[in-house]
């Protein structure tokens, strides 16, 4: 599967709950519908937080991956 093209990248590396989700919420609000937010995280809590947040807020989680303890999420803004 191709890596989605990110409109904006949010790097939360080193930060932990609640900051990755606080910053993700801020970042998505600054985007237009259809834009893709790439989120980089090292907090394992984001593994559950981000998919749950996407479902709750109506965004689409396009893909997620983990490499060398770094997590990447691609989220398309729907509203």
Partner 1 sequence: MKTLAIVVTNDAFDKILTPLGIAYLMAAEDVQVDMLFVNWAVTALKTGGASNLHIDGRHAEDEEKMRAGMAKAGLPTDMYELIKALKGTGCVNMYACSMAAAIFGVDETNLIPEAEGIVGLAWFLNEKADKADHYQYF
- Burial call 23-49: b when 16+ CB within 10 Å, e when fewer: bbeebbeebeeebbbbbebbbeebeeb
Alpha helices by DSSP H, listed for 6-45, are: 19-29
Alpha helices by DSSP H, listed for 1-79, are: 19-29, 46-57
Q: Which is nearer to partner 1, 26 or 65 (CB)?
A: 26
Cβ 12 to partner 1, closest distance in Å?
Answer: 7
Task: Tell which one of 3, 5, 9, 14 touches partner 1 (CB under 8 A).
Answer: 14
Residue span 15-54 as binding mask against partner 1, x where in contact by CB under 8 A, dash where not: xxxxx-xxx-xx--------------------------x-
Q: Do residues 13 and 70 make contact, with C-beta atoms less than 8 angstroms apart?
A: yes
Cβ 5 to partner 1, closest distance in Å?
Answer: 26
Residues that bind partner 1 (CB under 8 A): 12, 14-19, 21-23, 25-26, 53, 56-57
């Amino acid at each position: 599967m191709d890596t989605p093209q990110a409109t904006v990248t949010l790097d939360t590396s080193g930060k932990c709950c609640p900051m990755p989700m606080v910053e993700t919420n801020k970042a998505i609000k600054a985007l237009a519908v259809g834009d893709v937010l790439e989120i980089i995280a090292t907090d394992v809590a984001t593994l559950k937080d981000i998919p749950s947040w996407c479902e709750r807020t109506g965004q689409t989680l396009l893909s997620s991956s983990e490499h060398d303890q770094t997590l990447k999420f691609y989220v398309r803004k729907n509203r």
